[in-house]
Structure 1
Amino acid sequence: MALEIIWSPRALDNFHDIIAYLEETWSEQVTKAFVERTEKLLALIAKHPRIYRQISQKNSVREALITKHNFLIYKIYLDRIALLAVFDTRKHPKKTKIFFKPKR
């Protein structure tokens, strides 16, 4: 059974920013391909949440590559998957917001 996927406000903002960038800089076809690839990735994660690499030893935060320029950060809970951020690898790391804070 597939888990429910919940978008955090940050992940949704990130996703919309990337779509706006693609629409402005590239073509409608590239934008559509990105959205379709993201939808397929989310369907796969919903069915097999542990398929991608775990990036935190303390909690179940994982990352999944969408394209060579974008990856998705998500956290697995018992009954759902929370999308924490969609990260654009072309941005300088110090200029991006922290996408999750480990619990102390």
Structure 2
Amino acid sequence: MSYSIKWLPEAEITYALVIEYLEENWTSKEIDCFFDRTDEVINFIAQNPRQYIYSKKKDVFRAVITKHISLYYRIKSEEIELLIFWDTRQDPENLKV
């Protein structure tokens, strides 16, 4: 069973911020690798959303995109809601999921 993917506004904004940072500090090859890895992880999530780390306290899952970027998402019946892309170097107290 494949779940549909829904990008919430916060996920769209934080993804754009990650891309903006990469464009300022990295090469186009590295940016392409990030795009590919993100697509790969989202496809994995759509196929088997429970394969990633689950937080019972917040009722969300965390998928690692790179060592510095994680994607938080929630399962809603037959849909996956992408919540936020999070730079793991930030203060976790600021994470609002």
Between the aligned partners of 1:91 and 1:31, the Cα distance in structure 2 is 20
Aligned position for 1:34: 34
Q: How does 1:47-66 map to 2 (within 5 A)?
A: 47-57=47-57, 59=59, 61-66=60-65
Aligned position for 1:84: 83
Between the aligned partners of 1:32 and 1:64, the Cα distance in structure 2 is 19
Give the paired residue count: 97
Aligned position for 1:72: 71
Deviating above 6 A after TM superposition, structure 1's stretches of 4 or more consecutive aligned residues are none
SS of match in other structure, 1:67? coil
SS of match in other structure, 1:54? strand
SS of match in other structure, 2:51? coil
**Relative to structure 1, is the Cα distance of residues 20 and 2 closer, same or farther in structure 2, using a 3 angstrom cutoff?**
same
- Matched AA of 2:72: I
- TM-score, normalised via structure 1 length: 0.86
SS of match in other structure, 1:17? helix
Using the TM superposition, give the Cα deviation of residue 53 of structure 1 relative to its aligned residue in structure 2, in angstroms: 1.1
Question: What is the root-mean-square deviation of aligned Cα atoms in Å?
Answer: 1.4
For structure 2, the 5+ residue unaligned runs are none
More helix by share: 2
Between the aligned partners of 1:57 and 1:70, the Cα distance in structure 2 is 21
Using the TM superposition, give the Cα deviation of residue 69 of structure 1 relative to its aligned residue in structure 2, in angstroms: 0.3
- Percent identity between matched residues is 37
Q: Deviations over 1:49-75 (max 9, x none)?
A: 10001112463x100100000000000
SS of match in other structure, 1:74? strand
- TM-score, normalised via structure 2 length: 0.92
